[in-house]
Structure 1
Amino acid sequence: MQKLIVILLFFIPTITFSQTDPFVNENKIYLPNIKTVLCYNNTKEQSLPVIQLNSSETIAFSFDDLLAGTKNYWYTIEHCTSDWQTSRISTIDYLQGFDSDRIIDYRYSSNTTRKYTHYELTLPNTQIQPKIGGNYILKVYLDGDKKLPVISQRFYIVDNQIAVAAEVTNSFQVADRNSKQKINFTLNHAIPIANPYQDLKAFVMQNFNSNTAQINTKPSFVRPNQLVYNDLSTNDFWGDNEFRKFDTRSLRFKGDNVKDIYRDNESVNVMLFHDAPRNNGAFANQYDENGNFFIRNTDGRDDKTEAEYMGILFTLNAPAPSANGDAYVVGRFNNYTLGKENKLLYDAGRKQFYANIMLKQGLYDYEYVWLNNETKTAESQPFEGSFFQTENSYQILVYYRRPGARWETLMGYTNLSNKAKERR
């Protein structure tokens, strides 16, 4: 009996520590009643949520609760590695003030068919203040219980010590010159970097889409106070196509790409014009927002609390690219994720995909992607095509771990596009 008790006592700590965190370190909504999560640098709406360390810049974060009423939402932030694993450091190392707080800034919707409550948060604030640069994950949970996840959201704080100079050019691969774009960049630094091959990483992503991120660990040239990344075979991105878009700023008039608007006392539904595939035609230049969306309501006075929630009917007239796969409609409005909410149903007889997604009134960019279930790869080219001329934005984030340091610091960031090249 004593041996059995000893064995049980030995295993109890192991069981306790093996409990998994219900949160994941990515942009995710855990409850179906939570909609329209926004997170950006306050200086520019829908910019990437990147701010400078110890500056006046702030992160604007907000979301809506379609159950309305008032909930007891709490939040905390955690420092992460460059690949979004939780850093194994104490909150004392990266936070000033408290490690959690309640969201107390909220407002009820007004003059809307669907009632909801709008919550807002600004970071840093008087309660929670990050004190080192790096990747951070914001975790929102219910009733002060971290086992009840609501939202996880990535944001970035730059301890700016590395300057990034970059350019967009054609792919160096002859077969891809008309369909891909290549990023070359140079890092200029005044701090000593003894081993850039081991201590420094640079991530490049397209249109704020983390699914496109490419990691750079080996500079092509190492010069005094300068690292050059222009290898022939790296940082190639599909040019894709300009995003499709629709305009529901007003529900009294039909905006861009809106075919019909149906509303009653219980709901609002918007039917878009049928979309056609664009993978066989020539490139058609049009203005887009690189996948972004903007909440707007020109029929009211307050976009945040007077904008309606609508069912948006998407229809794509196209045959299935292969026998084993699924189509999705994506954009920054759903963080380019492939989930059941944005999966399109397929009518083989009509060769038609369709989906109905609930979105808040405004301006939206979107595109269609095909997930090949055999290769597990998702591509927009089967529906959208890919062209070098497409205007895209690119983000470069540079992380450095000082010798002996226990965490990685985000020390460089830039955002660039090929718009100037395209317009010349």
Structure 2
Amino acid sequence: MIKIQLFFILFFIKASTLAQVTYDDRVYLPGIKSVEFYNTSKAQSFPVINLKSSDVLLLAFDDLKGGTRYLNYTIQHCDANWNPSQLSPTEYLQSFTDDRITDYRYSSNTFQKYTHYEVTFPNQSIIPKLSGNYLLKVYIDGDVNKMVLTRRFYVLDSKVSISASVQPSNNNALRQSNQKINFNVNYGGLLVQNPNTDIRALVLQNGRTDKAQMNTQPANIRGSQLIYNDVNTNDFAGGNEFRHFDLRSLKLNSDRVGRIFRDTANTVILLGDPNRNQSAYSFQYDNNGNFYILNQDGQNPKIDADYVHVYFSLAGNKNDNDGAAYIVGKFNNFELNEQSKMQFDSGRARFYTDLYLKQGVYDYEYIWIDKNTKVPDEIAFEGSYYETENDYQILVYFRRPGARYEELVGYTLLNTTKR
């Protein structure tokens, strides 16, 4: 009897653990790598599509376990804060509630064997019929408790116009380091009863949810125009251009590659990284944190790009007694966890780590977390400068009086170098 009770206790503990879903970009299985999710009009673009249009999103990822899994996917409508909307799937889906991923291929001529999966939607099976925030869920064997990954995306029904600009911070102490975003929203096409409560706007830096500011009220209202220019809001640290490395070829060294070893596995040692928190800005091209799967030595990087053990080292002028260093980028969803945490070599006074990455071009940066404050600090290793090139996404949400969900009625992309 005790054994039976123990079995059911363990079963329910496991089931409740599996059922937990984070409404953010997450990977739940360790063998799932190289997740790409974007509007097919441009590789690695922000995942926003227009409602009832020909826009298509692509999801692609590798399963290092190999073989074939029975994978399903569905989408869930959410509000602007990424809480599930009070809607049933039949209210926001035009067709079926889920579908199976049937497009998969096995790797070819690679040390690391993997299965590459892809799906594009909206398609005949999955069609959203309402605008707003959505969470894409991929799971095993038709069981939503066996989650593989989740990804956020946005469906736009454009009903407002947005004009935006970037300028130095209003705070004199931050004018050389911060970028202040001011914007106006013209809602003339909407029947708005109270613009202070019915409309809110979200500003993202480089599409990052960890660098987002929600505007719940405008600073001023002029007729049907909402003005967001409060001196204390939408003031972002400019950061620095992302560091990068190029693994498109394993036959020759790129500008950041120190050595390449190819025997029973691929290993790359990158040149050491310095602390870039300097007094002056130094320009370099970057991809705003993105990564691109590419292989110059093959024909199809989706299945013939190989995986590589990439070794990083950082002279951060800090040590592990004071805190911890992390390496982040779009490739790991900018997550600060044990996988992105770096080790400290006291003999060399450097932080180091190795990551298992697919061939391509990668942006990355280092984050410091002080052991006392526990606050992520991007500036400690990278610095922050007003001149840094960044993308800002502005999304406008509207909740009609009495409605049970928020519509996404406006979107614009602002680049700091195109003013």
Common topology (TM > 0.5): yes
Equivalent residue, structure 2, for 1:388: 386
CA contact (8 A) 2:275 2:317 kept: no
- Residue deviations 1:340-384 (CA, integer Å, cap 9, x gap): 111110123322000101111000011101122332311211101
Q: Is the 8 A contact 2:72 2:142 kept in 1?
A: yes
- Contact 2:241/2:388 (<8 A) preserved: yes
Q: 366, 371, 374: which is aligned to 2:372?
A: 374
Residues 62 and 116 in structure 2, CA contact (< 8 A), matched pair in contact too: yes
After superposition, the Cα gap between the structure-2 partners of 1:321 and 1:394, relative to the gap in structure 1 and judged at 3 Å, is farther
What's the CA shift for 1:321? 6.8
Aligned: 1:195 with 2:194: yes
Distance, in Å, in 2 between the alignment partners of 1:395 and 1:93 is: 28
Structure 1 residues without counterparts, runs of 5 or longer: 1-14
Percent identity of paired positions between Structure 1 and Structure 2: 49
Is the 2:238–2:385 contact (alpha carbons within 8 Å) kept by the matching residues of 1? Answer: yes
Residues 1:353 and 2:359 aligned together: no
- Picking from 109, 118, 121, the partner of 2:119 is 121
Of 296, 300, 303, the match for 2:301: 303
Give the AA of the match of 1:356. D
Aligned counterparts of 2:321 and 2:175: Cα–Cα separation in 1: 30
**Contact 2:319/2:344 (<8 A) preserved:** no
Give 1:269 deviation, angstroms: 0.9
Residue 273 of structure 2 aligns to a residue whose secondary structure is: coil
One-letter code aligned to 2:351 = F
Any residues of structure 2 matched to 1:378-417 within 5 Å, and which? 378-417=376-415
Stretches of structure 2 that go unaligned for 5 or more consecutive residues are 1-11
Deviations 1:141-161 (A, max 9, x none): 111111111101111101111
Among 25, 28, 35, the alignment partner of 2:26 is: 28
Contact between 2:135 and 2:153, CA under 8 Å: does it hold in 1? yes
* Cα separation, 1, equivalents of 2:206 and 2:32: 24
Cross-structure match for 1:8: none
CA distance in structure 2 between the partners assigned to 1:373 and 1:407 by the alignment: 40
Amino acid in structure 2 at the alignment position of 1:52: N
Equivalent in the alignment of 1:12: none
Please state if 1:204 is matched with 2:207. Answer: no
State the 1:193 CA deviation: 1.7
Cα distance in 2 for partners of 1:177, 1:135 equals: 33
- Deviation per CA, 1:215-235: give whole Å up to 9, x if none: 101101112221110011111
Counterpart-to-counterpart distance in 1, 2:407 and 2:349: 50
Across the aligned residues of Structure 1 and Structure 2, the Cα RMSD in angstroms comes to: 1.5
Verify the 8 A CA contact 1:23 1:139 in the aligned structure 2.
no
Q: Which amino acid aligns with 1:197?
A: N
Deviations 1:55-106 (A, max 9, x none): 0001111110001111101111100110111112111110011111110011
Say whether residues 1:56 and 2:90 are aligned partners: no
CA distance in 2, matches of 1:131, 1:410: 12
Structure 1 residue ranges, 4+ long, deviating more than 3 angstroms after superposition = 18-21, 321-324
Q: Count residues in correspondence.
A: 404
